[in-house]
Structure 1
Amino acid sequence: MSKLLRTLAIGSALALALTACGSRPVDESPGSGGGGSAETAEAKDFRACMVSDSGGFDDKSFNQTSYKGLQDAKAKLGIEESTVESKSDNDYPKNVDGMVSAGCDVIITVGFKLGNQTAISAAKNPDVKFGIVDFDIGTVDLEEVGLDEVPGNVKSLLFDTAQPSFLAGYLAAGMSKTGKVGTFGGLPIPTVTIFMDGFWEGVQYYNERKGTSVQVLGWDETTQKGLFTNSFENKAQGRNTANNLISQGADVIFPVAGPAGLGGLEAARASRGKVAAIWVDTDGCVSAQEYCDVLLTSVTKGMDVAVEEVITSVYEERFDNTPYVGTLANDGTGLAPYHEFEDKIPDELKQEVEQLRQDIIDGKVTVKSTAVPKAR
């Protein structure tokens, strides 16, 4: 299979790049064997913690993948963990502060919506290290959070998903029979619209190359206007939004809405082969296997590898707060395998997507989304 289709389970390159209220907290400790070594004793003194956003750890998307990174670090290092799932946005202050009270050495917060609380808690607890997925701590509004400066004990884990979404848009345009594809988001925030921007640009690029006029329903990058469920949890709303796009003729759906986006996959499956979809954050054929038969591919983010590396860096006392930005070039983002569509996608289109991937890496094609994270 082409290198485009390598999954983000390949951790070595990413780890190298990384180096340059809901429920009550859940405590889990590794089992102890007889005659524990000094290394094991040291490990038991280290606790890594995680706070989900309101989507929960079983969202088949970014919370779940980030949680996998915590589990991988626990298995690798033999450390203790504490986790808490947020049931609503109102839970963030007590959940993050609860992890501080639990004696965590490193706290990973998952999602853009936890940005302000992470900054506040980190500033109050400079001896605790923090990592946050999908939020650039350097952009926090200091006046809004009541701080004089950005806390230095936070590492941002960012992902340029506009790049693989560009590839997804090109692929969708090439596979559309109706000449219409659709997308919708959960909320109009940068970590959502970055996917939609890239997707939109990829379709426009396909039209330029092929002299076609495939339309994108649900988003216009030039106006930053489009369709949103205004929730990451409401699957029914996601299904209704997808059906709206399908009724307008879209035959490829690109939901960027966490668990609400699963409703979009349900709508695609209900079409009985007339509509396909593209998932985000994780390989949908792994995280949401029941929908694999409608998934052309997925836009993936190596959040698990990034989270594991941050935890490991704190454990090994080499933490730094330089933001990590995952890209196509460092395998921090990508497209998942085509799975059940492997034999349905024309070879010529696969080759064009592969070449386009390389052209983006080489700088021959530039993705212009203003939501692209910047390394500092």
Structure 2
Amino acid sequence: MNKTIKLTAVAAVAALALAACAEAPGDGGTASATTPVQTIKPVDGFKPCVVSDAGGFDDKSFNQLSFEGLQKAAAEFGVKAGEVQSKSDADFKPNLESLLTANCSLITSVGFALSAATVEAAKANPDIQYVLVDDAADNDRDGKVDAENIKPLIYDTAQAAFLAGYLSAGYSKAGKVGTYGGMPFPTVTIFMDGFKQGVEHYNKVKSADVQVIGFEGGDKGTFTGGFESNQKAREAADSIINQGVDVILPVGGPIYQAALDSIDDSGREIALIGVDADVFVTDPKTEKYILTSIEKKMDQSVYDAVTTAGKGQFSFDPYIGTLANGGVGLAPLHNFEGKVDATLVAEVDALKDQIISGEVKVTSYLAK
């Protein structure tokens, strides 16, 4: 099978040292205690399973979304999914092995940090189907998936971040917007780069001069060095907010929580941009801060992958989420709907169509 991907490999197998604990595979109990009700007949022996990155399945972000997508599919097939959570990168290999002993036929690894361990497991178990969320499984950087039995699910979030950048520039009264990330991995900087491009597009269209604080491009910017809402995350948020921004985009799971404290202590009205999930929905304490969120529809893409596997129609062709296929997008404005000028909203809607048509180009490591 030909699974060449025109992209630079997503680098780095790094631990996201968050708060979950490694544990033996479960039978789907985290999502629901009820027995699944079959609506679709699965192929014989079908058992979908999932292993989390260090954030755990309640991270209000990509682990949770992927988990929910898999659980939804499992319920429709009337099967109980296997699940195991990771505390650090040391858990990845044993957790993947534990799912093999649990007779899983399809294993979903959530997060680019699991890439190397998943490739190793897939090569050793060619009869098992693997789904890798948010990584191209191209650790040798030759433009091809490293194991034939892995389906990568990746997302060109620069497209949706471009819209968020344009929206933020138009919303900002200070003429300054900011962003910071956990670590300078491609899956992090793709948000920041798309955001910056969107602000620059706004400046070009409007002959404006909105500044982007915290990111210059590539790996040059403000990064916390990890993915925890800790003192370093707070210092990063403070450093940007203290430069006068009134919109801020934290990229890296729960590091946005530190920005909430920074916003409160600033005494100013500062809007927050969420990432991965619609953070307004997943974390209600953000409701008064969230302008919008840059969404990766991981729940839907994982659901689709698991469903096709359960029907015996699985394809290992890589999936790339875009604005065109609905794999990425902007969340609703929610409480900010009345605060954002209707003309600006219409411009963002039109810009989405222009990106889809190719009239406006958005570059990223997935789309040069």
- TM score, norm. by length of structure 1: 0.86
Where 1:74 maps in the other structure, the secondary structure is: helix
Q: Which runs of 5+ in 2 are unaligned?
A: 1-20
Deviation at 1:45, TM superposition (A): 4.2
Pick aligned residue for 1:190 from 171, 186, 189: 186
Contact 2:28 2:71 in 1 (8 A): no
Give the direction of change, closer, same or farther, for the CA distance of 1:100–1:246 in structure 2 (3 Å limit).
same
Tell me the residue number matched to 2:93: 93
Deviation at 1:235, TM superposition (A): 3.9
Residue 354 of structure 2 corresponds to residue 355 of structure 1: no
> Where does 1:197-346 land on structure 2 (aligned, <5 Å)?
197-221=193-217, 223-272=218-267, 274-346=269-341
Contact 2:39 2:78 in 1 (8 A): no
Residue 154 of structure 2 corresponds to residue 158 of structure 1: yes
Deviation at 1:233, TM superposition (A): 2.3
Bigger shift: residues 269-278 or 306-315: 269-278
Which digits, 9 at most, give the CA deviation of each residue in 1:295-323, with x for residues without a partner? 11001111011111111111111111100
Where 1:174 maps in the other structure, the secondary structure is: helix
Which digits, 9 at most, give the CA deviation of each residue in 1:125-160, with x for residues without a partner? 0111000110002x22289xxxx9821111000111
Pick aligned residue for 1:167 from 148, 163, 173: 163
Where 1:317 maps in the other structure, the secondary structure is: coil
CA distance in 1, matches of 2:326, 2:38: 36
Deviation at 1:32, TM superposition (A): 6.2
Where 1:28 maps in the other structure, the secondary structure is: coil
Bigger shift: residues 340-349 or 243-252: 243-252
Contact 1:55 1:233 in 2 (8 A): no
Where 2:355 maps in the other structure, the secondary structure is: helix
Where 2:59 maps in the other structure, the secondary structure is: coil
Give the direction of change, closer, same or farther, for the CA distance of 1:213–1:149 in structure 2 (3 Å limit).
closer
Deviation at 1:80, TM superposition (A): 1.6
Contact 1:273 1:294 in 2 (8 A): no
Contact 2:271 2:290 in 1 (8 A): yes
CA distance in 1, matches of 2:214, 2:77: 44
CA distance in 1, matches of 2:148, 2:194: 31
> Where does 1:4-15 land on structure 2 (aligned, <5 Å)?
none
Contact 1:235 1:261 in 2 (8 A): no
RMSD, aligned CA: 2.4
Percent of paired sites with the same residue: 44
Tell me the residue number matched to 1:22: 22
Bigger shift: residues 308-317 or 357-366: 308-317
Q: Which is helix-richer, 1 or 2?
A: 1
Deviation at 1:38, TM superposition (A): 12
Aligned residues: 344
Tell me the residue number matched to 2:108: 108
Q: Which runs of 5+ in 1 are unaligned?
A: 1-20
